[in-house]
């Protein structure tokens, strides 16, 4: 019943998007069958594919339903099921995870499928971390100089403090006062 309800909701949203789309920008190329494995079983539904032109003028095919819903699925696996897979493999081997997930969801999930989902999640996490690292800024400050080493003719800084974060440069002095 939950699968049928989910199918109806998805197809209703697809109908709504078809009516509201900019027809000059998105040309309806018909419906395509698809499915997604969820924690309550596999949901089969139809969604429309649209042809559009990218900024460089090339043709592209898009599913407005996926864009609208922010659907993030890995292959035919829902985000919720992918999360359950990730939690399971943190504690168990792939084969044991596959057996437990198959019995609890009523669908066949192989050890290889569990491995594939885990690899895809790893790739996504790595790319998100790379973006965060690009945003990160570092700030180093020192209290002063070592007076004894200064007498020896060597300049050495003391009381080094390093801050790292996502703040702009104006936010760092405030953190230094914590």
The pLDDT tens digits of the residues spanning 53-95 come to 998 989 999 999 988 877 666 667 777 888 889 899 999 999 9
- For the chain, the domain total comes to 3
pLDDT at 32 over 70: yes
* 93 and 54 part of one domain: no
* Co-location of 35 and 58 in the same domain: yes
Residues 91 and 36 in one domain: no
Whether residues 99 and 161 fall in one domain: no
Q: Is the confidence at residue 178, as pLDDT, over 80?
A: no
- pLDDT over 70 (residue 166): no
Q: Are residues 57 and 1 in the same domain?
A: yes
Domain range holding 169?
A: 137-176
For the question of whether the overall pTM of this predicted structure is more than 0.95, the answer is: no
Using 50, 70 and 90 to split pLDDT, how confident is the model at 5? very high
Range 50-65 burial, b when 16+ CB lie within 10 A, else e: beeeeeeeeeeeebbb
Last residue of a domain, one of 71, 90, 111: 71
Segment 32-55 shows an average pLDDT of 90
Lookup result for tokens 């790319």: 127
Same domain for 5 and 57, yes or no, is yes
Taking 70 as the threshold, does the pLDDT of residue 159 lie above it?
yes
Are 75 and 92 in contact, with CB atoms under 8 Å apart?
Answer: no
Q: Which long-range contacts (CB under 8 A, 24 or more apart) does 129-132 make?
A: 132/166
62 in the same domain as 5: yes
Task: Specify the length of the chain in residues.
Answer: 178
User: 128-144 burial, b for 16+ CB within 10 Å, e for fewer?
Assistant: eeeeeeeeeeebeeeee
For 86-127, write each residue's pLDDT tens digit: 899 999 999 999 999 888 887 788 899 899 889 888 888 888
């Amino acid at each position: 019943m939950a699968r049928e309800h989910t199918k109806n909701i998805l197809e209703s949203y697809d109908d709504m998007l078809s009516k509201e789309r900019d027809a000059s920008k998105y040309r309806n190329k018909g419906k395509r069958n698809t499915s997604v494995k969820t924690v309550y079983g596999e949901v089969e539904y139809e969604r429309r594919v649209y042809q559009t032109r990218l900024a460089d003028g090339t043709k592209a095919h898009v599913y407005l339903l996926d864009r609208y819903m922010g659907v993030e699925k890995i292959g035919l696996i829902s985000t919720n099921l992918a999360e359950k897979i990730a939690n399971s493999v943190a504690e168990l081997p792939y084969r044991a995870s596959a057996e437990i997930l198959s019995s609890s969801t009523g669908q066949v999930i192989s050890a290889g499928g569990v491995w594939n989902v885990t690899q895809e999640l790893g790739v996504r996490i790595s790319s998100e971390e790379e973006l965060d690292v690009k945003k990160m800024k570092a700030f180093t400050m020192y209290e002063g100089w070592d007076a004894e080493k200064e007498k020896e003719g060597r300049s050495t800084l003391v009381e080094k403090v390093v801050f790292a974060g996502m703040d702009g440069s104006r936010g760092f002095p405030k953190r230094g006062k914590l």
